[in-house]
A and B are shown apart, each in its own frame.
Chain A
């Protein structure tokens, strides 16, 4: 497969790009931030995502979705990133749908139509510490009657407060550090004995700390097989990590474009600051890094879509490279905007905030570089 978007993917981009720029530009994020919306995103917009067909990109055609792949999901995510669009797309249409694709028909029927219609929102409850360590999941799921009782804590559950259901990873066996013995559950938002505390993050998205104090779920809630949750979780993580890498490519590109434009209009010392070589070289360096990161992300998505054995390695390369690069883009962005870059009025700072949240989501650049080393045998 050539390493650029094919015609269909380019067409999808041609519809996603203006849609996001018109319906959900950065001003949209500001509006939802400033009205202190408790969900942090617009349900109307989510409905429009459904009408555009974005929501079901990864769902199979049999389930009413489009049966497309990670490249296509990435096309949408890049535009979300470029416009800092607040939406539950990553947690619902990427993480949630990937999990549901491994679930029994009853669960798929329960959630997929609502997701595809832009009504239902899912969230991913995996992390239990401030740093992403999925292997160390300790939360317990004990058998009880013909179902399970969940006890433990989760944190950094993005969209947790607004989600209709949570995909929760818990232990039915084994102990923290082992990959055997994990099970995934789809837990309804109204479940008893579940308490939630939402907090606004720096990028104005909402994320929840959740306590499970003997939350009862039926056996139907199991996603995949009991004790075999790791195999599903691996797919969910791969899809969502590469998805967040795409979103970071969007954030980095958006920040870079805005900065390059600023260099062409701001005058100091009687010259456009873009004439100063000190800034030109840094901008050109940033451009090279962005191009390289973009290629790595696309490669990971293509390999994932092909079901290649190399996909896992490339997902980590993609997340590590995209993370390091969009970080560079937002740092250079703020710096090259001078004092303006520090103001809330200018958008560049918002890019820096979103980037920080995405960088941390499902493993930062160090975490993924470490995985690359491990998978390479050193």
Chain B
């Protein structure tokens, strides 16, 4: 048996023993996920057990180094772990902006002390992070942000407003883009970390079209941020921000089909019913589903190729923008088709049989996929300029 085969067998056995049955069912919606943090209350005992078991092995972040709370696994081992988890439908033990966004940036730009201080609590799900990028006047044009950090020697004093800060009201800490030089547009932004319980931080939830309110307006009123809570250099936060956005875009593109390789038509056929010849009983919808399946499966091939190329150091650095664009547009189509196939059942918003409208709420939520983390239009701009090298601006 090769080392990898042995690893697979051991992993399979360990998961069999440690993943509770309740954690081997697909999540109903966002609210079903475990986000961790100082104030987190577990939905049930299984959720707690599962997080502790996985965090105990460093497997919430399998490929991070062990000294930072990770599992120290190689790329091949990480892939095997993911495959084995998928095999038993195991849920993600932890949803976390710390893992998918701040972590990679910290590993790349952080100091040794910062890594040792901030990363292990992320891996264990003890500190929940939020992302303070967007401002009312600065969305797509992020570098125009106005939130200002005034240099006071050993600390900054931050004033301003952020918007669309996902889960700001539930997060423990924020990673935040702050202008520290008013003269320089790009080289005048710093990447600061601070506790959401600091004096002067307040949040106000914003309700979404899905009826949920996962994000907030966030206000900073003379917030004191110590100087060692900066990642990267002063005024060079844009580099950190961009690096992080690359990871964010990859994560969001994953919703497109990369992790859901099956056939959507097959999943929906019983909802619609079959005709006498055994085909989905709505030829136009069937055709739409067939085209969607072709596109979604082809997209999984592209995602696989992307991962393979990354590992081999090939591929264009702007490629995540393409994946983000294509993946999110696909995910929107997927949920639109789920709504169509669901017919009037999928219109129920408040009822037990609809699980309080999971389908319409999820459908509405996907509309943000092509906005959050940079809009589809911005992704296309990047592809046009950086990959196709078209002229202008």
Contact = CB atoms under 8 A, between A and B. Distances in A.
Interface string B264-280: 01101100001000011
A3 interface: yes
A275 B391 contact: yes
A287 B391 contact: no
Contact of A378 (B286, B299, B387, B388): B286
A283 B302 CA distance: 18
A274 B385 CA distance: 10
A317 B390 contact: no
Interface stretch (A54-62, A201-209, A366-374): A366-374
Given A2-B308, A3-B308, A378-B289, A288 B322 contact: yes
B235 to A, nearest CB: 31
A291 B263 CA distance: 21
B314 interface: yes
Contacts of B291: 320, 324, 369
A260 B385 CA distance: 11
Nearest to A296: B298
Contacts of A365: 294
Contacts of B286: 373, 378
Interface in B310-332: 311-312, 314, 322, 325-326
Given A264-B391, A284-B383, A376-B263, A292 B294 contact: no
A282 to B, nearest CB: 9
B390 A274 contact: yes
Given A274-B391, A281-B377, A376-B293, A291 B302 contact: yes
A291 B387 CA distance: 12
Interface in A335-376: 365-366, 368-370, 372-373, 376
Given A4-B308, A281-B377, A283-B390, A372 B290 contact: yes
B5 interface: no
Interface string B137-154: 000000000000000000
A280 interface: yes
Contacts of B269: 377-378
A238 interface: no
B297 A317 contact: yes
Contact of B290 (A263, A281, A370): A370
A288 B265 CA distance: 24
A373 B392 contact: no
B309 A4 contact: yes
A321 B295 contact: yes
Contacts of B385: 280
B301 interface: yes
A288 B304 contact: no
Contacts of B302: 291-292, 295-296
B294 to A, nearest CB: 4
A320 B384 contact: no
Given A274-B390, A321-B298, A281 B304 contact: no
Interface residues of A, number: 43
Given A263-B390, A378-B265, A277 B293 contact: no
B380 interface: yes
A334 to B, nearest CB: 18
Contacts of A3: 301, 304-305, 308-309
B270 to A, nearest CB: 9
B377 A372 contact: no
A299 interface: yes
A16 B308 CA distance: 24
A260 B280 CA distance: 41
Contacts of B295: 292, 321
Contacts of B389: 264
A234 interface: no
Nearest to A281: B380
Contacts of B392: 271-272, 274-275, 280
Contacts of A4: 305, 308-309, 312, 314
A3 to B, nearest CB: 4
A298 interface: yes
Contacts of A31: none
A295 B290 contact: no
Contacts of A369: 287, 290-291, 293-294
B312 to A, nearest CB: 7
Given A298-B305, A376-B263, A288 B294 contact: no
Nearest to A279: B390
A285 B384 CA distance: 9
A293 interface: yes
B381 interface: yes
B393 interface: yes
Interface in A270-314: 271-272, 274-275, 277, 280-281, 283-285, 287-289, 291-293, 295-296, 298-299, 314
Given A291-B322, A295-B301, A272 B391 contact: yes
Nearest to B383: A284
Interface of B: 263, 265-266, 268-269, 274, 279-280, 286-287, 289-291, 293-295, 297-299, 301-302, 304-305, 308-309, 311-312, 314, 322, 325-326, 377, 379-381, 383-385, 387-393
18 contacts: A3-B301, A3-B305, A4-B312, A264-B391, A274-B390, A280-B385, A281-B384, A283-B390, A284-B380, A292-B302, A295-B304, A296-B301, A299-B301, A321-B295, A368-B294, A373-B293, A378-B280, A378-B286
Given A3-B305, A264-B390, A280-B390, 20 more contacts: A2-B309, A3-B309, A263-B390, A274-B391, A275-B392, A284-B322, A284-B383, A288-B322, A292-B299, A295-B301, A295-B302, A296-B302, A299-B305, A317-B294, A372-B263, A373-B286, A373-B289, A376-B266, A376-B293, A378-B265
7 smallest A-B Cβ distances: which pairs?
Answer: A275-B392, A376-B263, A296-B298, A280-B384, A284-B383, A3-B305, A2-B308
